[in-house]
C-alpha cells in the first residue's frame, strides 16, 4: 500500500461518508478525484481536487465542499491537517511517520521496490528492425535505446515482455545487398571492379566478399546471377545480422526474438492473413484515387488488390498487391502482425523511425481488423537525431563518407551516456546530439550526476562498521528523520512506484530518467548539508540511532537509483 493510495482511500471514504450524511447527493462519480503532491511543496504534502470536480454535479460551491471534506478528514489517521486553499483545493499535511515509514518500505522490498505486481499481461515490443544491409547508424540508435528501455520499464511494471526484431530480408534491398557482396567477392579474387550505381558502396562489405570467397572458392566466378543470387543473398544477410547483433550487444541491447520476413514467403502465411481479412470483407479489387497535388508523371489508374483500412480508421484504402500481382511491402507486414496477434499477446508495441509516420494508421488498422479490436497496437515514432559537431549541424552522407554509425557514437561517448542522453527526452521530440557536449561536457550530463550520487552512496555505505546489512538498517528508528531535506527525500522515494506505473502506462521511459535526476539532485543537496553543519552528517559521532536512520534513508535512495538506471539500461557504477 503506497502512501498515495492510502490517503486517496481516506479521501474517498470521507466522500462516501458525506454522501451517506446527505452533504453530497447520491450517485456522484468520484473518478475525476485525484490525490497528488502539489507542485509547490509549501502547499502541503498532498492535495486533492475533489471539491472542484464535484462542485458542478453536486450543485454546490467548491469551497463549501472542501470545508466539509476538511472537517471529515481532519480526524483521519495519518492526516495532521487539512486546509482549503485557492478556488477549492484541499491541502493535506500528513503525519511525518507516514513518510518516514517509506524508508522501511524500500528496505523491505529491496531492489524490487516500485516493481509492479506480475501478471499485467503479455506484451510484444518490436524495435530497431533495421534493414539487414549494413551496420546500424545513429538514427537506429535512438529507436534501439528507446525500445529497449520501454521493454525494461514494462517488465519492471509487471508485464511479460518479448523484445523482438523484424528482419526485412524478403524485399529487393537484400538482392541489392547480394549483388554488392558479389562485386566484393570478385574483388577478393583480384578482379578490378567498379561498383555500379545503386549498389551499397560501404567498406564493411569487403570482408563479407572475402568470407564468401573462403566459403565457395571460385565457384561463382563468371556465373549468371540466377546461379548464385539466392545463396549469396542468404550469406550476406546472415553476415549483416551478425554485424547488427554485435552493434546491439555493444549498446547493451539483447533481443528475445529475431523474426524473418522471408519466412513468411512461400509458406502460405501471407495468404492466410489476407484470407482472414478477406473473410471479414476487407479485401477487394479496386482502383485508388490519384494523390492530390503533384501527380506522378506516369500516373494511370490501375486495378489492385486493396485492404479496406478505412473501415478501421485509416484515411484511404491501401494496396496489398502491386499491379503486376506481386505483394506490396504491406502484405508481409500484415502477415507478421497476424503472427504476433496469434501468438497471444495482450498488446503490441512497434517502435518506428519518424520516416514511417505515414505507415501508422494502416498498421493499426490491420491489427485492429486481424484481432477484431481485441489487441491494441501502440506505435511509437522516434524522431530524427540531428547531429552537431563544434556547434554546427553535422551532415550525414553515405557518399561523402560522413556516415555516422552506432559504433562511431559508442566509441566517442560510450553506451551509458548515449543511452541516457537519448532517454532524457520524449520519443516524439527531435533530438539534438552534440558530439562535443557528449564528450567534453559529458560530465555535466545527468547520467554522471546520478552516477556520482551512486559513487558517493557506495562510499558512505561501505564505511560504517556495525551498520552493514539491510536487516540491521530495517530496525532503525526512522522517526529521527525529521529534517526538511530528509522528508523531501522520503516524499520523492514514495513517488517511485506511482511514477513507474504511470510511465509504463504511457509508454514513456523518459520519465524515469527525469525522476532519477531529481532524486539524485535532492540527495546531493542533502549530502551537502553535512558539509555545512556537522550535525547533518550521515555518520554522527555518538549517535548510533541517528546514524542508522540516515543510513537507512540513503540506502533506500541507492536502491531506487540503481533500479532506475537498470530500467534505462545504464550501468550503475559505484566508482567514478
Partner RNA sequence: GGACCGAUAGCUCAGCUGGAUAGAGUACUUGACUACGAAUCAAGGGGUCGGGGGUUCGAAUCCUCCUCGGUCCGCCA
Q: How far is the CB of 307 from RNA (least distance, A)?
A: 12
Half-sphere exposure at residue 99, Cβ-oriented, CA atoms within 13 angstroms: 26
Each residue 461-500 as x (binds RNA by CB under 7 A) or -, in order, gives --x-------------------------------------
Stretch that binds RNA, among 35-43, 157-165, 364-372, 474-482 (CB under 7 A): 35-43
Count interface residues toward RNA (CB under 7 A): 101
- Residues 374-433 binding RNA (CB under 7 A) are 381, 383-384, 424-426, 428-432
| CB of 221 or CB of 529, closer to RNA | 529
Buried b (16+ CB within 10 A) or exposed e, 300-310: eeeebbbbbbb
Instruction: Please give the grid coordinates belonging to residue 338.
Output: 497476424
| CB of 125 or CB of 381, closer to RNA | 381
- Residues 61-120 binding RNA (CB under 7 A) are 62, 85-89, 91
Q: In this structure, are strands 89-94 and 46-48 parallel, antiparallel, or unpaired?
A: antiparallel
The single residue among 218, 355, 411, 477 that binds RNA, judged by CB under 7 A, is 355
Is residue 536 close enough to count as binding RNA by CB under 7 A?
yes
- Residues 277-336 binding RNA (CB under 7 A) are 288, 290-294, 296, 298-302, 304, 315, 319, 322-324, 328-329, 332
The answer to whether 476 touches 551, Cβ cutoff 8 Å, is yes
| CB of 213 or CB of 308, closer to RNA | 308
C-alpha span between 243 and 211 (Å, rounded):
14
| CB of 156 or CB of 185, closer to RNA | 156
DSSP 8-state secondary structure symbol assigned to residue 199: S
Q: How far is the CB of 280 from RNA (least distance, A)?
A: 22
The single residue among 22, 59, 119, 172 that binds RNA, judged by CB under 7 A, is 172
Q: How far is the CB of 356 from RNA (least distance, A)?
A: 6
Is residue 354 close enough to count as binding RNA by CB under 7 A?
yes
- 3-state DSSP: the chain helix, strand, coil percent, rounded to 5? 55, 15, 35
Helix (H) or strand (E) holding 166: strand 160-167
The single residue among 356, 389, 483, 562 that binds RNA, judged by CB under 7 A, is 356
Strand partners, 36: 47
**Which residues 6+ apart lie within 8 Å of 207 measured at CB?**
none
Is residue 141 close enough to count as binding RNA by CB under 7 A?
no
| CB of 186 or CB of 546, closer to RNA | 546
The answer to whether 408 touches 394, Cβ cutoff 8 Å, is no
Is residue 516 close enough to count as binding RNA by CB under 7 A?
no
Instruction: Please give the grid coordinates belonging to residue 390.
Output: 563544434
**Which residues 6+ apart lie within 8 Å of 237 measured at CB?**
132, 167, 169, 174, 177
Q: How far is the CB of 210 from RNA (least distance, A)?
A: 27
Q: How far is the CB of 398 from RNA (least distance, A)?
A: 15
C-alpha span between 450 and 422 (Å, rounded):
16
Length of the chain: 576
The answer to whether 48 touches 84, Cβ cutoff 8 Å, is no
| CB of 189 or CB of 537, closer to RNA | 537
Stretch that binds RNA, among 21-29, 31-39, 223-231, 562-570 (CB under 7 A): 31-39
Q: How far is the CB of 249 from RNA (least distance, A)?
A: 23
Q: How far is the CB of 217 from RNA (least distance, A)?
A: 32
- Residues 192-221 binding RNA (CB under 7 A) are none
- Residues 226-245 binding RNA (CB under 7 A) are none
DSSP 8-state secondary structure symbol assigned to residue 252: T
Instruction: Give the 3-state DSSP-derived string for 305-330, with helices as H, strands as E and coil as C.
Output: EEECHHHHCCCCCEECECCCCCECCH
The single residue among 113, 336, 449, 467 that binds RNA, judged by CB under 7 A, is 449
Q: How far is the CB of 213 from RNA (least distance, A)?
A: 28
Task: Find, among 488, 514, 528, 489, the residue nearest to 567 by Cα.
Answer: 514
- 273 Ramachandran zone, left/alpha/beta (phi>0; psi -120 to 50): alpha
The single residue among 7, 11, 18, 55 that binds RNA, judged by CB under 7 A, is 55
The answer to whether 341 touches 122, Cβ cutoff 8 Å, is no
The single residue among 13, 246, 459, 484 that binds RNA, judged by CB under 7 A, is 459
Q: How far is the CB of 426 from RNA (least distance, A)?
A: 3
The answer to whether 520 touches 445, Cβ cutoff 8 Å, is no
Stretch that binds RNA, among 228-236, 243-251, 352-360, 396-404 (CB under 7 A): 352-360
| CB of 49 or CB of 152, closer to RNA | 49
Is residue 224 close enough to count as binding RNA by CB under 7 A?
no
**Which residues 6+ apart lie within 8 Å of 234 measured at CB?**
none
- 314 Ramachandran zone, left/alpha/beta (phi>0; psi -120 to 50): beta
| CB of 223 or CB of 444, closer to RNA | 444
Amino acid at each position: 500500500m503506497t502512501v498515495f493510495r492510502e490517503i486517496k482511500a481516506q479521501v474517498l471514504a470521507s466522500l462516501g461518508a458525506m454522501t451517506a450524511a446527505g452533504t453530497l447527493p447520491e450517485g456522484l462519480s468520484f473518478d475525476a478525484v485525484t490525490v497528488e503532491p502539489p507542485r509547490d511543496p509549501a502547499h502541503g504534502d498532498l492535495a486533492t481536487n475533489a471539491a472542484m470536480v464535484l462542485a458542478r454535479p453536486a450543485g454546490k460551491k467548491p469551497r463549501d465542499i472542501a470545508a466539509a471534506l476538511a472537517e471529515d478528514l481532519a480526524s483521519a489517521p495519518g492526516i495532521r491537517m487539512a486546509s482549503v486553499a485557492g478556488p477549492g483545493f484541499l491541502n493535506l499535511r500528513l503525519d511525518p511517520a507516514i513518510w518516514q515509514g517509506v524508508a522501511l518500505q524500500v528496505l523491505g522490498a529491496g531492489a524490487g521496490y516500485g516493481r509492479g505486481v506480475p501478471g499485467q499481461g503479455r506484451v510484444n515490443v518490436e524495435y530497431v528492425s533495421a534493414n539487414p544491409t549494413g551496420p546500424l547508424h545513429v538514427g537506429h540508435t535512438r529507436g534501439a535505446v528507446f525500445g529497449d528501455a520501454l521493454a525494461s520499464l514494462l517488465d519492471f511494471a509487471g508485464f511479460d515482455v518479448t523484445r523482438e526484431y523484424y528482419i526485412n530480408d524478403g524485399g529487393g534491398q537484400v538482392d541489392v545487398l547480394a549483388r554488392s557482396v558479389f562485386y566484393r567477392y570478385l574483388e577478393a579474387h583480384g578482379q578490378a571492379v567498379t561498383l555500379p550505381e545503386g549498389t551499397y558502396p560501404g567498406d564493411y562489405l569487403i570482408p563479407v566478399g572475402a568470407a564468401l570467397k573462403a566459403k565457395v572458392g571460385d565457384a561463382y566466378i563468371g556465373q549468371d546471377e540466377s546461379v548464385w543470387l539466392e545463396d549469396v543473398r542468404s550469406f550476406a544477410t546472415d553476415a549483416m545480422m551478425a554485424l547488427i547483433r554485435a552493434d546491439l550487444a555493444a549498446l547493451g541491447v539483447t533481443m528475445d526474438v529475431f523474426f524473418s520476413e522471408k519466412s513468411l514467403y512461400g509458406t502460405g502465411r501471407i495468404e492466410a492473413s489476407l484470407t482472414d481479412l478477406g473473410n471479414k470483407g476487407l479485401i477487394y479489387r479496386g482502383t485508388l484515387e490519384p494523390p492530390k497535388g503533384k501527380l506522378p508523371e506516369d500516373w494511370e489508374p490501375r486495378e489492385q488488390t486493396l485492404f479496406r483500412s478505412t473501415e478501421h480508421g485509416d484515411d484511404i484504402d491501401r494496396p496489398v498487391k502491386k499491379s503486376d500481382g506481386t505483394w506490396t511491402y504491406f502484405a508481409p507486414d500484415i502477415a507478421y502482425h497476424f503472427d504476433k496477434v496469434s501468438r497471444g499477446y495482450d498488446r503490441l508495441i512497434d517502435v518506428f523511425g519518424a520516416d514511417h509516420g505515414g505507415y501508422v494508421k494502416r498498421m493499426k488498422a490491420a491489427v485492429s481488423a486481424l484481432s477484431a479490436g481485441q489487441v491494441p497496437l501502440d506505435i511509437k515514432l522516434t524522431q530524427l537525431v540531428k547531429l552537431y559537431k563544434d556547434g554546427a549541424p553535422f551532415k550525414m552522407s553515405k557518399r561523402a563518407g560522413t556516415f555516422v554509425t552506432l559504433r562511431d557514437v559508442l566509441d566517442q561517448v560510450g553506451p551509458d551516456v548515449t543511452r541516457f542522453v537519448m532517454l532524457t527526452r520524449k520519443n516524439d521530440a527531435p533530438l539534438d546530439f552534440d558530439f562535443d557536449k557528449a564528450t567534453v561536457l559529458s560530465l555535466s550530463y545527468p547520467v554522471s550526476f546520478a552516477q556520482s550520487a551512486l559513487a558517493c552512496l557506495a562510499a558512505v555505505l561501505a564505511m560504517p562498521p556495525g551498520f552493514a546489512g539491510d536487516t540491521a538498517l530495517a530496525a532503525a528508528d526512522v522517526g529521527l528523520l525529521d529534517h526538511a531535506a530528509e522528508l523531501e527525500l522520503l516524499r520523492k522515494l514514495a513517488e517511485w512506484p506511482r511514477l513507474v506505473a504511470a510511465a509504463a502506462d504511457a509508454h514513456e521511459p523518459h520519465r524515469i530518467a527525469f525522476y532519477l535526476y531529481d532524486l539524485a539532485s535532492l540527495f546531493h543537496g542533502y549530502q551537502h548539508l553535512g558539509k555545512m553543519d556537522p550535525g547533518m552528517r550521515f555518520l554522527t559521532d555518538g549517535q548510533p540511532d541517528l546514524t542508522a536512520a540516515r543510513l537507512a534513508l540513503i540506502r533506500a535512495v541507492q536502491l531506487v537509483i540503481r533500479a532506475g538506471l537498470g530500467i534505462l539500461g545504464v550501468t550503475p557504477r559505484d566508482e567514478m
